[in-house]
Structure 1
């Protein structure tokens, strides 16, 4: 709950950050329309643009629902799966010395927990990014939110479309979670 609350409070910052990171990379994005001089935009310009062209204050939380689901679900799954994988990995690597076994088990379990969580929640992360970049008030690609994103991607690309960029994300999270969760546990 704390993670969901924190994500909701910081959603406007995340939305502005995503738009600034991707400015100039999406030709259909409204963020490019306000940037007539092709200069780097600042946070306040993007903030004013979101407020005035996308329907006021609530526009800052566009894409927040999948972000909250991803964060809250990710935290819960990572810790639950870490313990489950650790109980299984101790059995598998039991012949090794006790101390080494626990350290290997911690890192292995952390990586596996991160990989499993990413596999389960990646479509939500993908939808969050699409929603956060769907700007404007009248020309949105996904006016009904997550439902529109899902149906659009499913219709054109099937389940594979929900996993665009998955391979590199999986590689990165396995290493990150092995070091983060495994290192903490070890």
Structure 2
């Protein structure tokens, strides 16, 4: 929703494969019945290692992410006129450094990196709680479909719940990435803090949560596929705990690509809704989420829901990089 991220949104989402290994480690801790201190230390090592890998990987693919966001929201941007809209990925990549400077490729990246830590902590906390609710007493071997449905439900609910807390960061990331001004005078926002403060002042807390409802719908679909399908697929392997990194990568890539494509229209609509904050009267393009769906389909056609989707595929290639990087970092923390 990561986009549709982690993964996400997408990374891509990825939003990111570091969390796959974090989930596995947390799950293994419960099975081994460690002491509380051992569990905390191990979790923190996994958490920090995943965070470092996420920061590096998200920063590496930030230019691709910004291109995707610009293509998604340019029709709803006050700064981009019909004559100056980007024609596609290549046109966007060429024009950004020329018109805004090379470093502008990383606008909104700080918010995206910061968002990782609370998102992961919340996902892990809620995922275990929801697993007890949806999977308590379910036998994977004799009740496969119930086990599969439980994984979908627990993963989706965990992602949606965590989104309640980190949505303003995702909102700010989108608005900063969509800001095409070159100098300070042309920029709509000067940074993360300025973006949140400015929107809060004009629209209140509600302004920071525009598009939240459709985000929840998209995140449930994406996270359900990510957590649910990945966990289920891993559970079907002969030795899930010792799965080769290449197999884990292939499973994650397949799940990420499929989930990202299915949830992408929801991501487009939610980001269009985010662009409405700060607008008044006649400047408001969409009356609500349903109106946004309707107008995009009517005015731009169904293909508009998937603008920038190809960049998700490119960004998803970073999955292998994250897994290898995370594994290498772990060697120095254990």
> Normalised by the shorter chain, which TM-score bucket?
0.7 to 0.9
Give the match for residue 62 of structure 2.
11
**3-state DSSP of counterpart to 1:10:** helix
Distance (Å, rounded) in 1 between the aligned partners of 2:188 and 2:78: 14
1:126 aligned onto 2:199: no
**Cα deviations across residues 50-97 of structure 1 (Å, max 9, x unaligned)?**
22332x322111110112223454344323421232234455xx5xx6
Establish whether residue 70 from structure 1 lines up as the match of residue 115 from structure 2: yes
* Unaligned 5+ runs, structure 2: 1-51, 233-334
Normalized against structure 1, the TM-score is what?
0.78
Task: Give the CA deviation at 1:126.
Answer: 0.8
- C-alpha spacing 1:180/1:17, structure 2 compared with 1 (3 Å): closer
Q: Give the counterpart of 1:141 among 178, 182, 188.
A: 188
Shift, 1:155, TM fit: 0.8
1:83 aligns with 2:134: no
Q: Which residue of 2 aligns with 1:156?
A: 202
| TM-score normalised by structure 2 residue count | 0.47
Q: 1:47 to 1:98 in 2, by over 3 A?
A: closer
Pick aligned residue for 2:217 from 156, 171, 176: 171
Aligned length: 175
RMSD of equivalent CA atoms? 2.6
Runs of 5+ consecutive residues of structure 1 not aligned to the other structure:
none
Residue range with higher mean Cα deviation, 78-87 or 113-122: 78-87
Match of residue 155 from structure 2: 110
